[in-house]
Amino acid sequence: MIRNVHASRLIEMHMSHIYPVNDYGPLMPGLVMAAVAIFHVFLAQFAVGGGFLLCYFQWLSMTGRNQYAKLFVHGYFKVLVMISFVMGALTGVGIWFTSIQISAPTIGEMVFNFHWIWATEWSFFCLEIVAGYCFYRYHDRLTDKAALTLLVLYTFAAWASLFWINGILAWQLTPGSWVESRSIADGFFNPSFWPSLFFRTIVCLTLASLAGCVLVNMIPNLDRPAQQSLVNRAAHLMAPMVAMPILGVWFLMAMPPDSRGWVLGGSPAMMLFFMISVGASVAIGGYAVIGLWMQRLYINGATATLLLLLAFGATAGGEFVREGSRKPYSIRHVVYSSGILPEEVAELRRIGCVSNDPFPLMHEPGLPNETVTLGAKVFRRQCAVCHTMEGSNAVAHLTESWDADQMRMNIAKLQQTKPFMPPFAGTPAELEALVSYILWVQDDRPSEYAVSEDQAVLQQIAKWMDEAGTQAATVTSMEREKR
Amino acid sequence: MNIFPFNLEPSLCFYVVVYVLTLVLHAIFMTYVLAGSIYLAWASMFPGKTAIVRARSPLAEVLRDWMPFALSAAITAGVAPLLFVQIIYRQEFYTSNLLLGWRWMMVVPVLIVGFYLLYVVKSKLISQWSLAARGAVTVGVAGCFLFVAFCWTANHLLGIDAARWPDVYATGAVVSSVVSLASRLMMWVSGAFPVMCMLALWQLVYYRRRATDVASVDRQHSGPQFVSEIRVLARMGLGGLALSLMFATGYAFTLDAQIRGEFISDGIVWAPFLVVGGVFQATGWFRLLKSEGDSFAIRVLISVGCLSMLVAVGFLREMLRISKVDLTVVNASVKAAAGVGGFELFVGFTILNIGLMAYCIRLVNRRTTGE
Ligand code: HEM
């Protein structure tokens, strides 16, 4: 019942509203998004882990366990503020803005469903900057205990912001029972919430530990034994990495089977990124564990920087997998990557997906006639998030070896052609127009272009679309296909 | 009741109130940064003829010292209204973002540049640079924040101009009327000064009292320098107030007559807040111009005036926008949003976090070891 109200509201809103699409050139917006996201995740996790590291070192100094720890605390916090505090916050806003550029319906749904979670996270941001700034500004005047209190509050706030956002991001991939219940608790504590929270927390600690090692090597006038004692302590934060394999498996198990399939070989690109991520983590973990085991780990500046770069690679790989494995959805069962909702597909097949698109085509001059123009609009609405026409993942090239009928059939059955594509969501005439557009581009964009208006062709397309149905491909349908 | 926002559907009214209150919080910090950076640019270009050059005056010192924090606060405080604006004006906000395109995407890099330049401005290094170099950096900082303010204003105006969207997409001409954009933007820029002056007034007085921070500020705080500095604030506060009124009137004339009419009838409840706010501030600043030194009562008067004006402007600004959007869509979507749950969570943790923030501030006031 609630579900129905929700669906009808969405249909009403989206059907009446089409967003303008920007063409950012040959770089697919997805790549831009990934770059900003990776950068942000890296910095933000560093900020969270840095809090833990500082609390630990402050405690070491207060309990007399390490006399140099205090020196480190004051130096490290400056870096934390200058780099991650500021850049973390700003790249966070950056992700938000980029998400809007890529898929306004997606971010819209996320905000719609979880705005109070986000607002709660925001109140922790506020605590984070107040506690952090109090420490930053007054640390050399504070009593030890007051300094520790501020650091603990800072760390608590920073980690809490991870806690909240983690729920929303995990929900995108595994909405779980929320799909039926629409309960915010079900959505937040979704199947991949816990493995992903623990996993991310460990990543935070690892990043901070590595950055700590880089920094220790940069403290002027510190002799080798002093440096060694600090590096050893910083490396303690890498110990939880031993739990990573278990958490990784837990996470994979929580993933929907098809997404897991992409990662474990179904999609070569996805698997590559996954392997990069695993490989880099193993390298870092191996170094740390062996070092800790032997009790005399020393990581010099160059090695630490190298390990930090590896960690960046691991983060990048992980984020790619997280983004990519959701295909064909941007929010599983809620929104397709194209910004079209699963509930809308049937209706769009009836009324057309661009019949109320008011935005002219800007980046395709010389369109010869209305049909081709219509096709270009269909491409912009349904394909452009993942494809370009002639750049990367170019549809004109991917379809080069197909004749017109193959094109019609494969696009009509898009979700079966490649299960990480959504079902086609337009009228048969729009599909035929799309095919004309692709053929026109393949023919080098002649100024005159004849298009057929054969009713039999349209009927055949309609038949293929009906055969494929309006649902996304499921694992079972994929397997049937294989056989 | 035909009083905005209480004449709206309950859910929409609720979100509008939350939105405006969080936007006011953003505005408090944002104006400090905007007006502060403009003042610093001016001070470094025109050092003045007094014993202490403007760029070394207590006001400039305080601004330089607190600007990086104020920017962090402005950014962080901006996140909350950013959230609610997407709930209320989902389509308008996203469409104008998309139409601004790469210009909108420049906001973040420009803020990053501005932020690091603020640290350059704050560092000791810069005082050894030539006048031209110092001028370039401070003007650069102000330019960054002016650009960001321009983007927000342009985004707002584009969002409520749905009829022009296809055209803007085709031509890329994101500004439809230079007059309305300029007057609206200038209203914010000049209106930023009274708020910044109010905050700086509290800071200057605080530093004079407690000889704990920024030694150079304290030294200059005694006697005539302090009094003349307060006068500078008073003059800027008054000037900013007058200019922003002028630009606001100018902006009102760019609206069409029907909307202006509704604006006056439904928005009348906010008029007293505007008038009282303006009168309080003007009275306070005049008193400071005339008398030697300041008093707690005057500071409170100015602050209350400032806040009351900001809140009134916040609501009136929304009233105009709501009159331009499709209320059936907005009501349906906001009503559904009100049903998703989680508000209690927000209230609970916000109370906790406000408490913890107060505790942090108390801690640094009490638990310092002294110098
Ligand atoms: C120094 C940097 C900034 C300046 C100078 C600035 C300035 C402004 C101005 C002048 C407005 C009012 C626009 C109008 O009504 O015409 C505004 C609104 C707003 N700002 Fe900021 N801003 C800054 C940074 C930010 C950041 C980083 C965020 C987001 C995290 C933000 C979020 C908002 C939001 C959500 C609104 C309301 C927009 C609307 O209702 O359409 N601001 N800002």
Q: Grade residue B215 by pLDDT with cuts at 50, 70 and 90.
A: very low
**In this predicted structure, what is the pLDDT of residue B222?**
54
In the numeric block, which tokens belong to residue B205? Answer: 């007085």
Q: Spell out the alpha helix ranges (H) of A217-369.
A: 224-235, 244-254, 257-261, 268-293, 301-324, 345-351
Query: Would you state the pLDDT for residue B293?
Result: 64
Residues 145-184 of A with CB under 8 A from B: 145-146, 149-150, 153, 157, 182-184
Supply the range of the domain harboring residue B201: 10-340
Q: Helix, strand, or coil here: B291?
A: coil
Q: In this predicted structure, what is the pLDDT of residue A15? A: 52
Mean pLDDT of A215-227: 85
Res A1 pLDDT > 60? no
Domain membership of residue B89 (yes or no) is yes
Asked if the structure places residue B195 within a domain, the reply is yes
Residue B269: per-residue pLDDT: 86
Name the more confident of A168 and B227: A168
Contacts of B42 (CB under 8 A, 6+ apart): B54
CA terminus-to-terminus distance, chain B: 59
Closest residue in A to B74 (Cα) is: A126
Average pLDDT over residues A95-104: 91
Task: Report the candidate in B191, B281, B288 with the shortest Cα–Cα distance to residue B234.
Answer: B288
Q: Tell me which residue has its CA closest to atom 27 in ligand 1.
A: B75
pLDDT > 70: what percent of chain B?
A: 94
Alpha-helical regions (H) of chain B? 10-45, 58-88, 90-100, 102-105, 107-122, 131-159, 165-171, 178-209, 215-221, 223-253, 257-266, 271-290, 296-322, 327-338, 343-366
Would you say residue B1 lies in a domain? no
Q: What is the pLDDT of residue A261?
A: 87
For chain A, say whether B45 makes contact (Cβ under 8 Å).
no
Residue B311 belongs to a domain: yes
Q: Ligand 1 pocket, B325 CB below 6 A?
A: no
Summarize the confidence of residues A92-97 as an average pLDDT. 92
pLDDT band at A285 (very low <50, low <70, confident <90, very high): confident
Residue B24 pLDDT: 98
Cross-strand bridge partners of residue A142: B368
Phi-psi region of B223 (alpha: psi -120 to 50; beta: other; left: phi over 0): left
CA A32-B80-A178 angle, to 5 degrees, is 75
* Domain membership flag for residue B5: no
Which stretch of DSSP H or E encloses residue A331? strand A329-331
Mean pLDDT, rounded, of chain B: 91
Residue-wise over B294-326: b if at least 16 C-beta within 10 A, else e?
A: beeebbebbbbbbbbbbbbbbbbebbbbbbebe
Asked whether the beta carbons of A419 and A329 are under 8 A apart, the reply is no
The set of residues, in sequence order, having a beta carbon less than 8 Å from that of A422 and lying 6+ positions away, is A328, A329, A336, A337, A338, A340, A345, A382, A414, A415, A472
Q: What is the mean pLDDT of residues B247-259?
A: 89
Q: Is residue A5 pLDDT above 70, yes or no?
A: no
Decide if pLDDT at A479 tops 60. no
Q: List B residues 344-363 in contact with A (Cβ-Cβ < 8 A).
A: 345-346, 349-350, 353-354, 356-357, 359-361, 363
Continuous segment of H or E residues that includes residue A371: helix A370-382
Q: H or E stretch including A329?
A: strand A329-331
Per-residue model confidence as pLDDT tens digits over B83-131: 999 999 999 999 999 999 989 999 999 999 999 999 999 988 887 888 8
d(CA B57, CA A131): 29
* Residue A68: strand, helix, or coil: coil
> How many other CB atoms are found less than 10 A from the CB of residue A248?
17
DSSP letters, B42-84, are: HHHH---SSSS-GGGSHHHHHHHHHHHHHHHHHHHHHHHHHHH
- Across chain A, mean pLDDT equals 88
Q: Higher pLDDT residue, A81 or A229?
A: A229
Beta pairing partners, A295: none
Residue A394: phi and psi, rounded to 5, are -80, 125
Closest atom of ligand 1 to B152 CA is 13
Q: Report whether pLDDT(A190) > 80.
A: yes
Q: Which residue does chain A place closest to B79, by CA atoms?
A: A122
Q: How many CB pairs under 8 A join A and B?
A: 196
On the question of pLDDT at B132 being above 50, the answer is yes
- Provide the percentage of residues in chain B whose pLDDT is more than 90: 73
What is the rounded distance in angstroms from the CA atom of residue B119 to the CA atom of residue A81? 12
Q: What is the CB-side half-sphere exposure of residue A100 using CA atoms within 13 A?
A: 24
For A340-363, write each residue's pLDDT tens digit: 999 999 999 999 999 989 999 988
Which residue of B207, B353, B369 to mutate against A (max A Cβ within 10 Å)?
B353
* Residue B89 DSSP one-character state: S
Partner-chain residue, chosen from A16, A86, A115, that has the shortest CB–CB distance to B337:
A115
pLDDT of B152 over the 90 cut: yes
pLDDT of A28 reads 55
All residues of chain A having their beta carbon less than 8 Å from the beta carbon of residue B75 are: 89-90, 93
List pLDDT tens digits, range B314-368.
999 999 999 889 899 899 999 999 999 999 999 999 999 999 999 999 999 886 6
What DSSP string describes B207-233? Answer: HHH-TTS-HHHHHHHSHHHHHHHHHHH
C-beta of B149 in contact with ligand 1 (< 6 A)? yes
Tokens linked to A29: 């917006």
pLDDT of residue A296: 64
The residues, any chain, with a CB within 8 Å of residue A294's CB and separated by 6 or more, are: none
CA B270 to chain centroid, in Å, comes to: 19
Domains of chain A: 17-335 (1.20.1630.10), 340-477 (no CATH)
Residue A59, pLDDT score: 97
Determine the residue type at A299.
I
Query: Tokens 């056989």 appear where?
Result: A483
Q: Would residue B362 count as lying in a domain? A: no
* pLDDT grade for B213, boundaries at 50, 70 and 90: very low
Q: Is the residue at B190 inside a domain? A: yes
Confidence of residue A2 (pLDDT cuts 50, 70, 90): very low
Residue B97 CA to residue B279 CA, distance in Å, equals 37
pLDDT confidence of residue A7: 47
In angstroms, rounded to a whole number, what is the distance separating the alpha carbons of residues B116 and B141?
9
Specify the higher pLDDT residue, B292 or A219: A219
Q: Please judge whether B350 and A114 are an interchain contact, meaning their C-beta atoms are less than 8 angstroms apart.
A: no
Number of structural domains (chain B) is 1
R_g of chain A, CA atoms, integer Å? 26
